[in-house]
Structures are given as C-alpha cells and as structure tokens.
C-alpha cells in the first residue's frame, strides 16, 4: 500500500474535517502477478471499541478509494487492509476461458472445481455472521460440483452477477496486509471551517469617557448580529495590573484614569479566572455569553498566558517565571517592541507540571462559563508540547472547543501549531497586497498537504495591526480588503468598529493604530452615515446564502491582463453554487481589463451562454466564451461578486 491520502507527516498528526463531511481516503494497492485485489477502509470513532469498514473501490491505475461519513465530533481513526481476491481472480479467469470457446473448453471442469472449493470456503466464513449468504454459497458449491449438470450451464451459473456479489462479501482475508500505521482525523464543529468574526472592546461600549460594564456592552450585540457575524471575540476581560501600566499610545507612563492594556493580566482582584471589576462579575460575564447566544453569536475569549507584575501567580508561584541573575523577572519583549507591563511564563520551570495544570484549568474554567472558542495570544512563544497536551486534554472532554492561533510567525511554525491541535490560524493575508502575492499565498494554503490541517482565518486589521495599505486610505481600500477577506477565506474577521468606520491613522514607526484602543477607552460613532456597515451586512449575507464561499478547497484563480485586477472563483463539488469575484487592487484608480475564465471551473461548457449577476452592485450580464471585460472604480465599488447562472 502506497500513496495513502490523506496522511500528514507519516501519520504523526491528524487530518482536520468538520462534522457532516464525507471523508474520502485513497491509496495505491500493488501486488505481484495478475491476481485481482480487494481492500477495505476501516474506521471507528474514538468512543467506539470496534472497527467498521467500507470496501475500497478501484479508481484506475492501481488507485483505490473509499469514504465514510463523519457524524460525530472528536477523533476518528482509520486504517487500510488489502488482500488477494481469489474469488474475483477465479471468476475473471473463468469468464475469459468461457469466452475463448473451444480452445479453453477442456479447462472449464477444473475451473469449476476451483469454484466449488472457493464457494464452500466462503460459506464457512459467512456462516458465523450471515446464515442466508452461507446457504446460498453452499448451494452454489453443490451446483458447480454437480456433474449431472452440463458444463456450460454450471459456467453460466458461476458467472451470474449475484454469485459474484455474495463472494465479494466474504473474501479470504487470512493473509490480508494492513497499512503500517493507523491514522486519525479530528472532527470539529462546522464553525471551524466557516465562521464570521467580529472583535470589540466591551469597556469602550458605554457612555463617553466611561468604562462600560458587560451589561452595558450587551447593547452592542444587536449591532454585531445585524451585520451577520456569528463569533464575537473579546479581548481579555480580566483585572489589569497597575505596575508599569502603559498609557495612551503605549507610553511608559500612565496618566490617572488610563485603563491599561487588557493583556497586562492580573491584579489584586485576581488573574486569569477573574473578571475586571469595572466590567462586572462572573455572573455578568455569563449573562453576556447567554445574551450573545440569543442573537446567534458565540463568544470567543482571548487567552493570553502571561502576567502583570501584580498577578497573584507572581507571589504565589514565583517558580513559574524566569528570573534574571539579579533575581528580577524579565519583562516580555518582541524587539523592537517592549512590554514592561507583562511577565512571560517559563514553560520549562522546575514546577512546569503545576504551571501546565493551572493553564489547563484556566480553559476549563471558561468552558464551564459558556465559552468554547478561544483566540490564543502568541501561542508560538509557548511550549509546543504544552499545546499538544493541553488541547488534546480539552477536546477529549469538550470536542466542540475551538482554538484560533494568533501566531504571526514563520510559516512552518504556524503550520506546526495547526498540526498540534489549533483549529484555525491568523495568516499573512493581512500583509499580502498584489495579485501575485495573494494568488501565490492562497494557492499554498488551499492545496495539499496544507489544506488538510490548516484552517485560515483572514483579518484585514487587528487591534495590534493597521496595515500600511489601509493607513491613510479611504473607503475603496477598506471595501476591497473586506471583500477579499470574506470571499477568499471561508472564515474571516474584523476588529471593529475601527474597520467599518475606516480608522486609518497609523502611529509612526509602530505598525499600530494612532490612539490605539488597547491603551485607552474609545468612543465610536457606530451610527455614522459613511460606515461600511451596510456593505459588511451585504457581504456576510452573500456568504451565508452561497455554500461555495463556505469552504476553501475549490478556490480557483483566473487570469487577467491587468495586474491590478484579481479574479477568482469558488464552487461546490456539484457546481450547484458558483461564485466569481473580480477585485480592483488599486485603492485610488479605476482599473479595467480582460479576464480569461476557466469555464470548466464555473460549470460552463463550450460556447454555452451564461449569466453573471453581481450580488453586491446589482448588475446582470450575459457572457459567452472564456474572455470578458470588467472595469471597477474604487470610489463606487471596487469589486464584483458574481453568482453564475446557467441559461
């Protein structure tokens, strides 16, 4: 058995799928000689003691395939077996010799004797499980051996399709070969593949200049739901330390009243399992989660495993932190950035077992309070072994749990975290600008092997990042990045209201927003008439109504004569849903050009006319053939999102 797929790193890591998927497995089966082969795909859920199986089907050129339905969350195991199919080999030889006529007639009695033995042996195997099949096989064996019946009649009996079907159910597998390792697939909730995220700071959702409570922030939920988001990501909600608290714009000195960064976790009021007193209580948090669920929104909570100097852990568990020779603890750094208000944890400390257990309990605490989705801050700076262990422990108890990796790091580290258990990941989309960059990157992450374990989540902006291509730009740039994120990736998110209100002021030399909300309370005018809110609502509705946009495997790029135009399509397997997108990547100029379509990807054949209907702009056009002209003005609408309608 060779070329088994899917298989990640020789079976070291599981494949990723979502509930309801039909899971297809393929392999090359190779044997010496001319005997015919048989095989089976074995599978079982981790909660099942026994294997089930489905037979492999020949797909040509020694390739064999089979599939089964993933109808339960959790880990599924799968394996492969293959064997020489003596009965099928005998039937094939008998058919050939019977068709050869007189020159092979002398061989037929011997072939019938072979068949008698094979049918009797199959009957013995069937008798333990299916007595009805056993009776039919014994009858067939008797008839094949009955010399009072003419040879040609016994041959005709042997070649009846019904006998081949029964024999195929009871092959001789005593010498079956088994693939050298059992493999696994992790089945996550549907949101693992298709989700729409929105981030806001609840403390800024109150009266001007006032720190809002979670109860007050609930008033923002209808606004989020109206735009069509189904995951609401909250920055850390814990008490914030006062030691070395950062002031506005990340200044080293906080002014009176500065709230500090939510990522400087821990104070006298508690640490990672406490709620900031100005936000409310644990009961208020649970009320917020339940209120969000009432709007069809799941709350995702930021988990940042680091501590303010005021965190209770610093005094209670000093061994969990790395100390310098002078006895002090080194604050966190990501040169040139310095985080004087944060202490990193030491995952290799002498008490690493105690630390790891405490961090596991942090996740379990919030799961008990209604959160099963976590955005994990900088996981690549923590032990990879910890993540593999911790996520496995959590998902064994709560297979519905999801983890978004905020690891803006080297590609192979990002992929390693996905293999170790992270459900989704932030990506380099945030910095990919040109058509070539976007096409190259998307091709990589939507092709094997990466697509088998890496689920991207595209963010045009974050609370940490205002990309240079949005800095100082206007509506066209923000609209284009929204449409790219929402249609290139089946999961995407925005940090709002900064995004829909097109906040474009960059703090020089930082890559961050000027007057960053991480360090101050912000007052957002969410009712502003120029908000992108209507466009966001429309795009999210398009995503919800078109299954083609709810997966990434069938993304295809189409050529364009103009490098400022990016054209791509997504479709379902059966072409029942096909979306074609053309985006102007120039935020300041009208761009037009010919696009050259791969009609097969659109489900269109030959010169068949077809209609494209713009789901955003409202236009409707009849096209014919692979070449069409598009022109897009960023000051009106920088993209077409076409649905393909065959005439």
Catalytic site positions:
377, 406
Over 259-323, what HEC string results?
CCCCCCECECCECCCCCCCCCCCHHHHHHHHHHHHHCCCEEEEEECCEECCCCHHHHHCHHHECE
By the 10 Å C-beta count (0-12 exposed, 13-18 middle, 19+ buried), 426 is classed as buried
Cα first-last separation, the chain: 46
Q: Widest CA span of the chain, in angstroms?
A: 108
Tell me which residue of 210, 202, 130 sits closest to 170, measured CA to CA. Answer: 130
C-alpha–C-alpha distance, residues 159 and 108, integer Å? 12
Phi, psi dihedrals of residue 92, rounded to the nearest 5°: -65, -45
Q: Which residues contact 325 (CB under 8 A, 6 or more apart)?
A: none
Which residue matches tokens 């042997």? 158
CB of 458 closer than 8 Å to CB of 491: yes
Query: What DSSP state is assigned to residue 267?
Result: B
* DSSP SS3 for 546: coil
Cα pseudo-dihedral 258, 261, 267, 269, rounded to 10: 80
Taking only Cα atoms into account, the Rg of the chain, rounded to an integer number of angstroms, comes to 31
CB of 628 closer than 8 Å to CB of 594: yes
C-alpha–C-alpha distance, residues 444 and 208, integer Å? 46
Residue 339: Cβ within 10 Å count: 18
């Amino acid at each position: 058995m060779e070329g088994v797929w899917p298989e990640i790193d020789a079976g070291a890591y599981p494949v990723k799928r979502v509930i309801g998927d039909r899971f297809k497995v393929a392999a090359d089966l190779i044997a010496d000689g001319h005997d015919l082969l048989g095989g089976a795909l074995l599978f079982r859920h981790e909660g099942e003691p026994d294997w089930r199986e489905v037979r492999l089907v020949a797909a040509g050129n020694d390739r064999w395939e089979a599939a089964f339905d993933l109808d339960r969350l959790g880990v599924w195991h799968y394996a492969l077996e293959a064997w020489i199919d003596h009965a099928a080999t005998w039937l094939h030889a008998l058919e050939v010799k019977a068709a050869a006529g007189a020159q092979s007639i002398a061989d037929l009695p011997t072939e019938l004797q072979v068949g008698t033995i094979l049918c009797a042996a199959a009957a013995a195997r069937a008798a333990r499980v299916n007595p009805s099949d056993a009776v039919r096989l014994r009858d067939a064996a008797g008839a094949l051996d009955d010399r009072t019946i003419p040879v040609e009649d016994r041959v005709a009996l042997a070649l009846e399709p019904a006998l081949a079907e029964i024999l195929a159910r009871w092959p001789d597998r005593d010498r079956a070969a088994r693939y050298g390792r059992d493999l696994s697939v992790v089945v996550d909730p549907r949101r693992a593949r298709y989700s729409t995220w929105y981030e806001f700071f609840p403390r800024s959702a109150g009266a001007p200049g006032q720190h809002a409570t979670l109860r007050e922030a609930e008033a923002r939920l209808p606004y989020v739901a109206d735009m069509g988001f189904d995951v609401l990501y909250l920055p850390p909600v814990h008490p914030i330390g006062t030691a070395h608290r950062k002031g506005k714009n990340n200044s080293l000195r906080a002014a009176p009243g500065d709230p500090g960064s939510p990522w400087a976790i821990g104070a006298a009021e508690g640490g990672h399992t406490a709620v900031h007193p100005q936000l409310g209580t644990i009961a208020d948090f649970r009320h917020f989660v339940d209120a969000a669920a009432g709007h069809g929104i799941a709350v995702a909570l930021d988990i940042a495993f680091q501590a303010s100097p005021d965190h209770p852990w610093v005094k209670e568990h000093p061994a969990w932190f790395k100390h310098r020779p002078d006895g002090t603890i080194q604050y966190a750094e990501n040169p040139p950035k310095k985080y004087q208000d944060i202490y990193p944890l030491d995952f290799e400390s002498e008490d690493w077992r105690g630390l790891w257990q405490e961090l596991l309990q942090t996740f379990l605490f919030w799961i008990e309070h209604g959160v099963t989705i976590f955005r994990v801050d900088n996981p690549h700076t923590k032990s990879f072994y910890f993540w593999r262990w911790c996520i496995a422990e959590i998902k064994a108890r709560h297979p519905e749990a999801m983890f978004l990796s905020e690891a803006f790091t080297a590609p192979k580290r990002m992929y390693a975290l996905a293999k170790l258990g992270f459900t989704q990941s932030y990506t380099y989309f945030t910095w990919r600008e040109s058509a070539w960059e976007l096409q190259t990157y998307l091709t990589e992450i939507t092709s094997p092997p990466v697509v088998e374990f890496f689920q991207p989540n595209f963010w045009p902006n974050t609370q940490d990042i205002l990309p240079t291509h949005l800095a100082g730009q206007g509506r066209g740039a923000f609209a284009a990045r929204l449409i790219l994120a929402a249609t290139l990736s089946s999961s995407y998110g925005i940090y709002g209201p900064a995004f829909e209100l097109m906040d474009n002021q960059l703090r020089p030399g930082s890559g961050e927003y000027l007057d960053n909300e991480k360090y101050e309370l912000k007052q957002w005018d969410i009712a502003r008439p120029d908000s992108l809110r209507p466009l966001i609502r429309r795009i999210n509705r398009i995503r919800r109504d078109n299954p083609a946009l709810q997966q990434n495997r069938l993304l295809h790029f189409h050529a364009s004569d103009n490098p400022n135009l990016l054209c791509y399509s997504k479709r379902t397997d059966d072409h029942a849903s096909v979306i074609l997108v053309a985006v102007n990547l120039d935020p300041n100029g009208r761009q037009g050009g010919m696009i050259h379509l791969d009609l097969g990807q659109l489900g269109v054949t030959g010169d068949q006319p077809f209609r494209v209907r713009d789901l955003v702009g409202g236009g409707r056009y009849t096209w014919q053939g692979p070449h069409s002209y598009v022109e897009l003005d960023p000051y009106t609408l920088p993209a077409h999102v076409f649905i393909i309608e065959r005439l």
